[in-house]
Chains A and B, each alone.
Chain A
Amino acid sequence: MTLLLDLALVAWLLALAVHVVVQRGERSAIIAFLAFGLLLGLAWVRLAAPDVALTEIAIGGGGTGILLLRAEAVLRGRGKEEEPMTRAGKLAVAVGCAAISAGLGLAVLSFASPAPTLAPAAAEALGATGLGNPVTAVLLAYRALDTLLEKIVVLLALIGVWSLAPDGVWDGAPEVKPAIVPGPLTYLARILPPFGIVIGVYMFWVGADAPGGTFQAGTVLAAMWLLVMMAGLKPPPDTSRPLLVLALTGGPALFLAIAFLGSIFAEGFLAYPEGLAKPLIVAIEAALTLSVAAALAMLVAGPARKAPAR
């Protein structure tokens, strides 16, 4: 019975992937891509990886989807006079993508079976971190360097988006509110955020011991903030606002500070002192959740469009 479900899931995923590629309208393709993210999340659940599933649905489906939709809305109507891609160009892209897909397929098929795994080692050392979720232990203790760089990449992406602002509105606020805010949207923006904030904080807090964590929680918080800004209940902040900059950089800064203190008080860079691992990790996660939320919301809000209020 579950085999039937898995086969159906795989068939859906393949069909949707093909649909996204051959779809002519950009918007329909993006909406299909959103659905693809959700289905891929289900596939990760079937593979018993709820942490990956949550991240896939939050970032891969929701976050990327809304970024693409907003980009499409900005680009719509523009660039129509541009020449369409030549046949040779299309062929080159198709061959490149096919080669990468085939290479990835070969790599996956040539894995040793059973695949080499570090899972027993990860589970064994879990006691030393005081955490209950091995995924969080990997992300914030064993492979903390990757996580640190990951969060900094998000900030770099945001700097890239912000630098698209023209000189006149530099340091100003982005614009996300539509010209007419529909009543139901305002209603949702008043009702939903209290629940969303509780759910976001819960996802971060439970991340230490169960599936959940900074990216998932940050996405939920970012969505709530965006909802409030889109309904016009609270305008987006100026991009140079100190409080915003503090929220954005606070997480990575605290992470880095604790990492360097590790080489004084513990065994080295990014090492935690014995017994203090869990409180430090939870503190880093709290600050990172805020940073991720602020960065994702600002990424979606886009570059500044209004002159800064002075």
Chain B
Amino acid sequence: MSAVLGIVTIVLVTAGAVLFLAGTLGLLRFPDTLSRLHAISKADNLGLGLIVLGLLPQAASVTGGLKLICVWLLAQLSAATASQLLGRAVYRGRREP
């Protein structure tokens, strides 16, 4: 059982790490702010989500697992707000140069 859980953790965390790598690559390579935001939000949401999901089987207790999920939800909330604010600033900057 624990071997299966270990494999689940390894697969999911690796997938999350790959997403973070792809997001970082996009952040560095994409030409403008909006597409960079698009790249990094994938890493933030899905990448962190996969890592949290992968770590859940390793959580020592139910409350520990809940804390992990809370971390993901809070990161989602703050990332979404920051993206909206950045996108808004770009949009306003374009309209009123």
Contacts and interface: CB of A to CB of B under 8 A. Distances in A.
B74 A188 contact: no
Interface in A175-225: 182-185, 187-188, 191-192, 195
Q: Is the interface of B mostly helix, strand, loop or mixed?
A: helix
Interface string B60-86: 000000000010001001101100110
B88 interface: yes
Nearest to B74: A195
B93 to A, nearest CB: 13
A182 B78 contact: no
A184 B74 contact: no
A182 B88 contact: yes
B78 A188 contact: yes
A184 B85 contact: yes
B77 A185 contact: no
Nearest to A195: B74
Contacts of A187: 81
Contacts of B78: 188, 192
A182 B87 CA distance: 11
B33 to A, nearest CB: 14
B85 A182 contact: yes
A191 B80 CA distance: 13
Contacts of B74: 192, 195
A166 B1 CA distance: 69
Nearest to B83: A184
B85 A192 contact: no
Contact of B88 (A184, A188, A191, A195): A184
A188 B85 CA distance: 11
Interface string A141-185: 000000000000000000000000000000000000000001111
Contacts of A191: 77
Given A183-B84, A184-B81, A195-B74, 8 more contacts: A182-B88, A184-B88, A185-B85, A187-B81, A188-B77, A188-B78, A188-B81, A192-B78
21 contacts: A182-B84, A182-B85, A182-B88, A183-B84, A184-B80, A184-B81, A184-B84, A184-B85, A184-B88, A185-B81, A185-B85, A187-B81, A188-B77, A188-B78, A188-B81, A191-B77, A192-B74, A192-B77, A192-B78, A195-B70, A195-B74
